[in-house]
Amino acid sequence: MLPSRLLPIPHCPTAPAPSPTPTPPGGARSPSSVTLRFGSPGGTGVRLRRRRGSAAVAMASDGRVERIASSIRAIPNFPKPGILFQDITTLLLDPQAFRDTTDLFVERYKDKSITVVAGVEARGFIFGPPIALAIGAKFVPIRKPKKLPGEVISEEYSLEYGTDKIEMHVGAVQPNDRVLIVDDLIATGGTLCAAAKLIERVGAKVVECACVIELPELKGRDKLGDLPVFVLVQADESV
């Protein structure tokens, strides 16, 4: 079943929630609608209707999280039939939602002694650098094969059909580093798991993985084992 809405995670910081914001220009134009719920975790939400082009449901009282969820659109049957693609490009078109996303991550990690933010290609390169700058950490790109010019260390991981691998420059991460791994989305968890193995192979500590979106029905957390994962919104297939 295709996930049809996004749920903020209840461990986000809280603040008074503003009125729901409209979907940014460029969202999907389906005339159908989905039910959205706003309110505090465990509390009573306010129900309303919103066009299906907004892949959003808010459950936390922090208005920033609702704005982030509302700015992400869902594209059906992309990149292949049966996939509902969570498109963060509409989030990037909304400067306030983009800032909110960065701010929520910075608030979480600014006091955790993070020395490296490792961004997973490609959308980890969007969210990782501003987080790294804000918390005073260095940014390390984790890339697809043959994209880095220097000596690399690589890690292979399984796909539905076949394998792929990711690479990191040798020496970019040191044994005493405390690393935050950043990507836009956790699905099956294969890429994040491979990234964590790269970091651990050089003797550094992975503090946490941070993603904007989680597709929980794909059970990516199971693949990561005990590695902590922090996400802002979850896709929900119950509607």
Is residue 58 pLDDT above 60, yes or no? no
Q: What is the pLDDT of residue 161?
A: 75
pTM of the model: 0.78
Q: Which of 129, 122, 9, 110 is nearest to 58 (CA)?
A: 9
Strands (E) in the chain, as ranges, are 5-8, 33-38, 46-51, 73-76, 84-87, 116-120, 138-142, 152-158, 163-169, 178-186, 205-214, 229-236
Q: Name the architecture of domain 113-234.
A: 3-Layer(aba) Sandwich (3.40)
Mean pLDDT, rounded, for 107-133: 98
Q: What is the pLDDT of residue 70?
A: 95
Residue 238: pLDDT band by 50, 70, 90 thresholds?
low
How many percent of the chain have pLDDT more than 70? 73
As annotated, the active-site residues are 123, 160
Long-range residue pairs from 91-94, CB within 8 A, at least 24 positions apart, any chain: 91/24, 91/212, 92/126, 93/24, 93/25, 93/26, 94/24, 94/67
Domain ranges of the chain: 113-234
- pLDDT tens-digit series, residues 61-96: 579 999 999 999 999 999 999 999 999 999 999 999
CA distance 184 to 72: 11
Helices vs. strands in the chain: H and E counts, helices first:
6, 12
- pLDDT tens-digit series, residues 6-42: 666 655 443 443 444 443 333 333 323 232 333 223 2
